[in-house]
A and B are shown apart, each in its own frame.
Chain A
Amino acid sequence: MTAGVLDAVLGGLAGQRALRHLGLALLGIALALAAAALLVLSSGRNPLVAYASLAAGALGSWDRIAVALNKATPYLLTGAGVALCFRARVMNIGGEGQIALGGLGATAVAMMLPETAAPLLVALALAAGAAAGAAWAGLAAVIRLGRGVHEVLVTLLLNFVGVLVVSEALHGDLGEPGAGFPQSPMLVRAAWLPKLVPGTDLHVGILIAVAAVAVCHAVLWRTPFGFRLRVLGASETAAAYAGVSKARTFFAVMAVAGGLAGVAGAIDVLGVHYRLIDGFSHGFGFAALSIALIGGLNPIGVLPAGLFFGFLEAGALAMQRAVGVPSPLVAVIQGLTMVFILAAMALPGRRGAQ
């Protein structure tokens, strides 16, 4: 991930040409599926059968759809925050650490206040997750603004620190005594996210995520704050002239993105595992980068991109069981999709000259 890629993406996104981007995204997905099909073929299996089992695993039943939506939830939250950051040319790649801290914050609150009544405890734990994620991203912003260390480095390195902070907590006070693995004890039921559809695994997290995406979209395109983000991302000198405080905007957008990632971590703990598990945030942060880019750095575009990733992952194990194609193939598809879309975006639309 370099500033050059971001330049190409932001350059390709002048204005709000969502339709053109949607076309590019579909093309990128099609090419990625085709390329991955070659990989499947080369291992002597039928790609159509593999993709059919992938689709069945993701969409084959209400249960499978519920799993896919649960998987998509953290992607939507984190991806929407990353999209806002990148719009402002703030290169936040610290999603993983922010998710980790969010999960830690939610767990800590749920373990400290086990007597609290259900809806309140969930709300408090989610808020704690948001606060912890925002604080972690805010710390990165403070280091960036105060010491001038580039945010790519700061957020990347804080990912390692954040994951280790969680690990440290699980080896200490938050750990489950006697468990063979660094994880917290099961949280009290009052802290579990309510189910959205009884009888399935689907929890209310997806509603929170979709609402967050919608709010981010409105903020980016319909508020003065979003306008300032876009000006800052387009030209730092013009932003200064327009009276946009770089420090304030940088800090704010980092805190927002960190808060969303923190909520993602909290939801994963409260809705899926019901406990904090060492390394639970692994890979989420970077997938969120891909999703933000595939979504055209548009929160509303993050919605299909995040769902796509969630469905791929939900179907991956089914595909492995049915056809014997290893489930990491979906990671290949995810990666290729991003590469193809970025490549397509870098193709200039014909630039109008004088």
Chain B
Amino acid sequence: MLRMEGIDKSYGAVRANRAIDLRVEAGRIVGLLGENGSGKTTLMNVLFGMVRADAGRITFRGRPLHPTSPREAIAAGIGMIHQHFMLVPAMSVTENVMLGWKEVGVWLRPGIVAEQIRAAGRAWGLEVDPDAVVGDLPLGRQQRVEILKAVLRGAELLILDEPTSNLSPPEVAALLDFLRRFRDEGRAVVFISHKLGEVLDLCDEVVVLRDGETVGARPVAGASRADLAHLMVGRDVGASAAWAPRAAGAEVLLVADLHGRDAAGVERLRGVSFSVREGEILAIAGVDGNGQAELVEALGGLVPPSAGRIHVDGADLTTEGIGARLSAGVAHVPADRASTGLVGEMTLAENLALRDVGRPPFRRGPWLDAAATRAVARERMGRFGILAAGLDAPARTLSGGNQQKVILAREIGRRPRLLLAAQPTRGLDPGATRFVIEQVLALRDAGAAVLYVSTELEEVLAVADRIGVMCGGRLVGMMWRDEADLGRIGLMMAGALDETPDAERLYGVRG
């Protein structure tokens, strides 16, 4: 169905794609794998007409295709679901589907389009209310709208870029079901993901990119997770980083009966109490949207809790702002790295100083100390292996993994007492994930307390000294590392098991 041959694309001195070949047959799902910055996104942008290749040929359904805009790619029968949805949040589902759709004609007939949305939704198992306002829909539903847009425009080939990173497990299962049906209708899918489990489960074959080149193409049957990881990274990625037992020390963070609401006023955090100690990682597992985000935001000082108390080293920080938290040694890696953790338009050096410009060494008297700022930035770049064009490169030009390294370098580089890490590896490739985990473990080994929130169970098991499970805004379970039991944690995450944890586990005192 699709054949891309010898695709070349350079950005300045960076060769994002070098002679890449990609073939996708009808009735197949191809996984496109590669670390952050390996050229996957560039390749797909070339195919979708968002970027012009320097060289190479594309044939799609037997005809040459060199789209100069997404419109041409869509007309040819290609649909792309971006990681960040291209929807207008203030408009309804129907309006979003009509937007830029040629077949709508001169007069808008929302009734007819709404009926088409319902029909396609039923046919494909993608039901969504056509009258709902997109911004009010959960992310899983918004993704359905994106898929319906593509399907209604007659897509024969769907490209999905990291489609599962914001979905809960049931939503993921539904998406994978849909993609299989789509394939079985004789169409084709390109599935870009770092989640090797999903790739093994869904794809028929995989193509692996590294440093802008194709380094492997193979059928999935018979492949193991380790095979794929090895192909992607070009070296063996150990299953779990080096966690070693370590005695926990004094209590650093104490949370008492914390409640919190989201922006819409819905109570998302319903009475959470626990503590985290020196040299200890408390990992919080749970399906996204069960209060973890509100917990970290309240602890980090972004959103004040509606009730309860937060103590760090005995000092009550409940009503204090970010400044007091920074002074108390609280570091925070936010879940939303691109728009909260970094300022995309500002430089790498500025981002490394983002939360500390009021303090030495970044400030000297009333002035910013540019020389010290650059010296610190240079040191952090080296220590954390941040790859960027230079200290003055805008943060948005860095790859996802390097952006996360910038945040870690800033937060860990401050030598915190307490690190709050929310989904620190989301969207990262195995190499970058491993790096993040190693840094967090090193910080814990050095005596800091860490609260680590993740929806990836494997990761939780790899880093945790204690594991808490959140469901419905409450801690429904808390266990020591050596008590961890996947079955039980799974039941708790799904809301099927609620053990009220005992004080010993909540506060980390082993009797």
Residues on A lying within 8 angstroms of B by beta carbon are 10-11, 14-15, 222-224, 226-228, 230-231, 234-235, 237-238, 240-243, 245, 352-354
Contacts of A245 in B (CB 8 A): 321
Chain A to chain B contacts (Cβ below 8 Å), 19 pairs:
A10-B345, A14-B394, A222-B367, A224-B368, A227-B350, A227-B357, A228-B357, A234-B345, A234-B346, A240-B302, A241-B332, A241-B334, A241-B340, A241-B341, A241-B355, A242-B354, A243-B323, A352-B11, A353-B41
Indicate if the CB atoms of B11 and A243 lie closer than 8 Å: no
Residues of B within 8 A of A (CB): 11-12, 16, 36-37, 39, 41-42, 45, 51, 300-302, 321-323, 326, 332, 334, 336, 339-347, 350, 353-355, 357-358, 362-363, 366-368, 370, 392, 394, 397, 399
Q: Nearest-CB distance from B122 to chain A (Å)? A: 37
Q: How far is the CB of B363 from chain A (nearest CB, A)?
A: 6
Q: Flag if B346 contacts A231 (CB, 8 Å).
A: yes
Q: Please tell me if the beta carbons of A353 and B45 are within 8 angstroms of each other in the complex.
A: yes
Given contacts A234-B346, A243-B322, A224 and B11 within 8 Å (CB-CB):
no
B42: chain A residues within 8 A (beta carbon): 353-354
- Shortest distance in angstroms between A218's beta carbon and chain B's nearest beta carbon? 8
Whether B345 and A352, one on each chain, are in contact in the complex, defined by CB atoms closer than 8 angstroms, is no
Please give, as numbers and ranges, the residues of chain B lying within 8 Å of A222 by CB-CB distance: 367-368, 370
Q: For the complex of A and B, list the 10 residue pairs with the smallest distance between their C-beta atoms, beginning with the closest.
A: A243-B322, A14-B345, A224-B357, A234-B343, A237-B340, A354-B41, A227-B357, A238-B343, A242-B355, A234-B345
Chain A residues in 8 Å Cβ range of B357: 224, 227-228
Chain B residue numbers with a CB within 8 Å of A352 are: 11-12, 397
Given contacts A241-B302, A243-B355, A231 and B368 within 8 Å (CB-CB): no
Report the bound CA distance from A241 to B336 in whole Å: 11
> Most A CB atoms within 10 A — which of B16, B36, B347, B358?
B358
With a CB–CB cut-off of 8 A, which chain A residues contact B344?
A: 234-235
> In angstroms, how far is the closest chain B Cβ from the Cβ of A124?
26
Compute how far the CA of A195 lies from the CA of B484 in the bound complex, rounded to whole angstroms.
Answer: 83
Q: Please tell me which one of the listed residues A230, A238, A242 contacts residue B339 in the complex, with CB atoms under 8 A apart.
A: A238
Residues of chain A within 8 A (CB-CB) of B392 are: 15
Q: How far is the CB of A237 from chain B (nearest CB, A)?
A: 5
CA distance A240 to B344 in the complex (A): 15
Contact A224 B354 (CB under 8 A): no
Assess whether B37 is in contact with A354, with CB atoms less than 8 Å apart: yes
Closest residue of chain B to A228, judged by CB?
A: B357
Q: Known pairs A237-B340, A352-B12. 19 more at Cβ < 8 A?
A: A14-B345, A14-B394, A15-B347, A15-B392, A15-B394, A222-B367, A224-B357, A224-B358, A227-B350, A235-B344, A237-B339, A241-B355, A243-B323, A352-B397, A353-B11, A354-B37, A354-B39, A354-B41, A354-B42
| Bound complex: CA A238 to CA B332 (Å) | 12
Bound complex: CA A238 to CA B302 (Å): 10
**Distance of A243 Cα from B363 Cα, bound (Å):** 16
Residues of A close to B36: CB separation below 8 A: 354
Determine the chain A residues whose CB is within 8 A of the CB of B16 once the complex forms: 353-354
In the assembled complex, how far is the CB of residue A193 from the closest CB belonging to chain B, in whole angstroms? 29
The chain B residue with its CB closest to the CB of A221 is: B368
Asked if B397 and A230 make an inter-chain contact with CB atoms under 8 angstroms apart, the answer reads no
> Within the complex, what minimum Cβ distance (angstroms) separates A216 from chain B?
14
Nearest CB of chain A from residue B353's CB, rounded to whole Å: 8
A272 CB, min distance to chain B CBs, angstroms? 34
Which residues from A are CB-within-8-Å of B362?
A: 224
Name which residue of chain A comes closest to B366, CB basis: A223
Chain B neighbourhood of A15, CB < 8 A: 345-347, 392, 394
In the assembled complex, the CB of A112 is this many whole angstroms from the nearest CB of chain B, namely 34
Q: Smallest Cβ distance from B226 to chain A, in angstroms?
A: 26
A226 (CB) vs chain B CBs: closest residue: B368
Task: Give the shortest distance, in Å, between B225 (CB) and chain A (any CB).
Answer: 25
Cα distance A226–B342 in the bound complex, in angstroms: 17
Q: Report B-chain residues with C-beta under 8 Å of the C-beta of A234.
A: 343-346
A352 to B397, CA, bound (A): 6
Neighbouring A residues of B332 by C-beta, 8 Å: 241
Question: Does B321 contact A238, Cβ atoms closer than 8 Å?
Answer: no
For residue B358, which residues in chain A have a CB less than 8 angstroms away from its CB?
Answer: 224, 243
Contact B346 A230 (CB under 8 A): yes
Q: How far, in whole Å, are A136 and B339 apart by their CA atoms in the complex?
A: 33
Partner of A231 from B334, B341, B343, B399 at Cβ < 8 Å: B343
Complex CA distance for A231 and B395, rounded to whole angstroms: 13
